[in-house]
Structure 1
């Protein structure tokens, strides 16, 4: 069994001591599963400890910095030690503290600071930091092969994708979401600094303008094509559906994933210039929704249930058979749903005057084999939207459950 390096506990300072003192409450929370806590305002902190990791059902923040790491150390003990250090730093940063005990300016002048400093004076801004482990981490280097969940099966080759290997996959991912982009970047930068010599950045992605709402208290956001996105997906208020569709349950797989979830990422480049020259009528037929209100065609309001049997005066379906909303709807996939946390991205231009822009799609679910895979297979085959998009990056990660208290750390149950 791997034990936590107790030296790491001191990095939490008073916050860590307080968390240890509430261990009984944390254990109760694990058993009872209270509703996820959220920041009271966009400047306030989000609790770090709990039954599930923050950053999944947490009301989606406006900014994202996502990174995928390759593990470079060959020593299991070094990897565990780094995960302990990461956990302490993450717990501190999400509460608005520096990444390390002495911060950006409090240590010895001759030594590198414990924090990079760009978040000095800034509030926590609702920062959440969520970790996941990729299939490649279970390749035998660290004796984890027998603990690889069946649900972490490699994604199949989908139609209409052209993946780039250098921006796909990875051993460990970290998702940092915040309402201030500097806070999200600060979090990733410091974890990469702490992990130097043990991990290296494989790829990363900045995102802005959330394209999904994870709470019914949030308005539905728009993607760069101008349409409301993810209307019918899971929300944090859907308690029964979350148990059924989002959280891994005992018996699903190895016990270390009980209460966790599986994350799929897809970088979807949009042919922005071609889309912008397409008529409004065709755009709406492609999505199957009204662009202004977001209502399904034939309906009046965004959350009206789509009527897939309705036909126009000419006898053709009001919502086309290859419309995105029809193909992605739960009724087309045995009720399968996803919890989405997507973000818009613009990565400059491609040198030919075309924007390198689109959607960085993030979806959480209980089992990708039964949820994301069948949905995306159908979309890849017949979605009329495929003329305007291309999937260029893909990732799959097992996100373990939340941490009990300051004596816990990311990956403890996996490496036990």
Structure 2
């Protein structure tokens, strides 16, 4: 496209020429991309193949190549009207599908309905493209209480996480009935997506807490370079990748046998664990390089395991250092989190850095917003975090201040919408 954004071309406004449309057919949308012809007139072509597909076997935003920005929000349901919740999820589906192809949240756009009605779209992304936007939703354990008759549909694995040694959790940053994860390469696109879905849910949901993230801290495909966290170390070198289909089936995607009976709606989905981890970066920044590397278990520059040369060299816990001791200490972060020390446990990491201003005491409120996807949080994340909480030398420099777990249902077929299987 030239100087016209797809959002503007797809929007419908009073007094504006309609040069493109996203039309709903049975809940599925066919996107059209506009551009300028040689005579300056608008032409209509095919949808941009670079957009992340909204529909498929699994929700986007899990194994999708991790984008650079994220807006995550947890919500409380403020009504006991089951039909209202179901209708909201259906409306969210329509809006999310539109926004992921670069259209406004609703056909009326930023001017539809005239000057005496609120716009159908808040407008801050009006001139921006889709920016690889993905929108992922999840259901918290609290949604399955007695308000909506869903108790017998709650998967056995969907339980609140237990407390861990060293936790300093803020209830105002934890839990939630629902969550929305919006990821994009433009922060304004991600914020716009969350803002408009929350706006559409007025009277049905309210924001419990939210988190902005910048700078992904994991790679989810083999083509991506390993990023760095706020401590300056490469993060997620040994992460599961989208290409590891067998490993994803074993460790990330919920299998039909995991969710018998009324919880079968969760087959093909994944459990999302969110942890807000405050990093005490001022203390870390005064720590010697050698101590930093010993705590992590990797070289800070290259990212190689201590005792090895390259980032992707295998961890060798038998390798000795110059002092005759193991090059990677038994309480190093990479050692405690390694699958060989956790009975084969692996998860898909998809976290982000954050900086939320200062704490009023002269310190940055910064750290890692950890997001992990897994087949069963109770069997994977809980033992992993217990091992890290008990022994990890990194605990001197971090504290967990927020926590939540959500069941992210599978992807949508051509005519399906969010909540359809759960609320049917």
Per the normalisation by structure 1, the TM-score is 0.90
Deviations 1:81-127 (A, max 9, x none): 11111111001001100001111113222111100000111100000
Match of 2:239 in 1: 233
In 2, Cα distance between equivalents of 1:50 and 1:13: 22
Counterpart of 1:258 (choices 267, 286, 294) is 267
Match of 2:421 in 1: 413
Match of 1:140 in 2: 146
1:20 Cα offset (Å): 4.7
In 2, Cα distance between equivalents of 1:19 and 1:89: 10
Match of 2:36 in 1: none
In 2, Cα distance between equivalents of 1:109 and 1:21: 28
Match of 2:303 in 1: 294
Q: How does 1:4-403 map to 2 (within 5 A)?
A: 14-17=22-25, 20=28, 44-253=50-259, 254-403=263-412
1:166 Cα offset (Å): 0.7
In 2, Cα distance between equivalents of 1:396 and 1:229: 22
Deviations 1:343-364 (A, max 9, x none): 0000000111100000000000
Deviations 1:176-227 (A, max 9, x none): 0000000000000001100001100000000000011101100000000000
Equivalences, count: 385
Deviations 1:253-278 (A, max 9, x none): 12100100000000000001000000
In 2, Cα distance between equivalents of 1:356 and 1:58: 29
Classify the secondary structure of the residue corresponding to 1:64: strand
Classify the secondary structure of the residue corresponding to 2:198: helix
Larger radius of gyration: 2
1:293 Cα offset (Å): 0.4
In 1, Cα distance between equivalents of 2:197 and 2:183: 14
In 2, Cα distance between equivalents of 1:175 and 1:222: 21
Q: Higher RCO, 1 or 2 (CA under 8 Å, sep at least 6)?
A: 1
In 2, Cα distance between equivalents of 1:302 and 1:256: 40
In 2, Cα distance between equivalents of 1:284 and 1:139: 46
In 2, Cα distance between equivalents of 1:391 and 1:82: 32
Classify the secondary structure of the residue corresponding to 1:150: coil
Structure 1 segments unaligned to the other structure (5+ residues): 1-11, 23-38
Name the stretch that deviates more: 315-324 or 391-400.
315-324
1:13 Cα offset (Å): 6.0
In 1, Cα distance between equivalents of 2:152 and 2:334: 39
1:16 Cα offset (Å): 2.8
Structure 2 segments unaligned to the other structure (5+ residues): 1-19, 31-47
Q: Quick one: structure 1 residues 19 and 199, their matched pair in 2 at CA, closer, same or farther if it must change by over 3 Å?
A: closer
CA contact (8 A) 2:29 2:98 kept: no
In 1, Cα distance between equivalents of 2:423 and 2:142: 15
Deviations 1:286-338 (A, max 9, x none): 00000000000001111111111122243311100110000000111111111
1:15 Cα offset (Å): 4.3
Q: Quick one: structure 1 residues 21 and 86, their matched pair in 2 at CA, closer, same or farther if it must change by over 3 Å?
A: closer
In 1, Cα distance between equivalents of 2:422 and 2:382: 25
Name the stretch that deviates more: 285-294 or 308-317.
308-317
In 2, Cα distance between equivalents of 1:60 and 1:46: 11
Match of 2:42 in 1: none
1:175 Cα offset (Å): 0.1
In 1, Cα distance between equivalents of 2:159 and 2:355: 30
* Greater share of helix: 1
In 2, Cα distance between equivalents of 1:15 and 1:213: 34
In 2, Cα distance between equivalents of 1:381 and 1:83: 40
CA contact (8 A) 2:242 2:248 kept: yes
Q: Quick one: structure 1 residues 119 and 21, their matched pair in 2 at CA, closer, same or farther if it must change by over 3 Å?
A: closer
Per the normalisation by structure 2, the TM-score is 0.89
Classify the secondary structure of the residue corresponding to 1:331: helix
In 2, Cα distance between equivalents of 1:79 and 1:165: 24
CA contact (8 A) 2:307 2:320 kept: no
